[in-house]
Chain A
């Protein structure tokens, strides 16, 4: 079976994954909304989480991240 060189979308050729592309599109659409909807979307997309990496069974210092979408 020979490998087919299917045309990839320009964003995948540039190294983006589909989910990254989709999230960028959604963020751009949200940025173009009228006022009450724009702030509702912004509050809906807020994330706040803490990541802790573990090495050799020991817990390293947690990183807290707050992203707006």
Chain B
């Protein structure tokens, strides 16, 4: 009996997911009524369990007019640095260069290179050095930034950066295999970016 409930749940979930993926759909939590009806038929005395669809927050719709603020989520593997904060602009260090994201930015997926991420809110600018990661900008002016490691600039030690830079420049000169060259190049890139972040 419950085998069929599972199948109906899967098809119902797929149908709701398709409906929620179009822009302009109002934001209301989908009610899994087909599943609840099927459950009541087989187990009327037991309360139907919640399904993932009813617990999920639906995607906020793309508003008709460009919103005035950008909502930023910035997460690291070990903590959530910024969650649902409304800001004016973020500048992300994309591999194609520093990219400014304003409210109403076109949907973008950007791979990040080691560099400075700055969050602008009114007159406040908060800067982080990001080691690498991705920035996803959605049509509804929500930006999700994920990074493996991100530190505020004042936590970086300039002496260690200089030391690392000379060390990797030397390794780049003496590298023989492709892999060694790549590792040395990565070291040079990261330390030059750190250097630029500290001086810029």
How many chain-A residues does the 8 Å CB contact rule pick out? 24
- Is chain B's interface secondary structure helix, strand, loop, or mixed overall? helix
Q: Is the CB of A33 within 8 A of B156?
A: yes
Answer yes or no: B187 CB below 8 A from chain A CBs.
Answer: yes
Q: Report Cα–Cα, A25/B133, bound state, in Å.
A: 10
CA distance A34 to B132 in the complex (A): 20
**In the docked arrangement, what's the CA distance between A23 and B179, Å?**
15
Given contacts A14-B178, A15-B178, A23 and B148 within 8 Å (CB-CB): yes
Give the docked Cα–Cα distance between A66 and B180 (Å). 25
Residues of chain A from 1 to 41 with CB closer than 8 A to chain B in the complex: 10-11, 13-16, 21-26, 28-35, 37-38, 41
Secondary structure call for the A interface: helix
B183, A24: Cβ atoms under 8 Å?
yes
Partner of B191 from A16, A22, A26, A32 at Cβ < 8 Å: A32
Interface pair B179/A25, CB less than 8 Å apart: no
Smallest CB-CB A-B distances: 8 pairs = A14-B182, A26-B149, A26-B148, A14-B178, A25-B131, A26-B131, A29-B131, A32-B160
What are 23 A-B pairs at a CB distance below 8 A?
A11-B185, A11-B186, A13-B178, A14-B178, A15-B178, A21-B132, A22-B132, A22-B133, A22-B148, A24-B183, A25-B148, A25-B186, A26-B131, A26-B149, A28-B190, A28-B191, A29-B114, A29-B194, A30-B149, A32-B160, A33-B151, A34-B156, A34-B157
- Interface residues of B, Cβ cutoff 8 Å to A: 78, 114, 129, 131-133, 148-149, 151, 155-157, 160-161, 164, 178-179, 181-183, 185-187, 190-191, 194
Q: Which A residues are within 8 Å of any B CB, using their own CB?
A: 10-11, 13-16, 21-26, 28-35, 37-38, 41, 44
Contacts A11-B186, A32-B164, A33-B160 aside, 16 further interface pairs with beta carbons under 8 A come to A13-B178, A14-B179, A15-B182, A25-B132, A25-B149, A26-B149, A28-B164, A29-B114, A29-B129, A29-B194, A31-B164, A32-B191, A34-B155, A34-B156, A37-B151, A41-B149
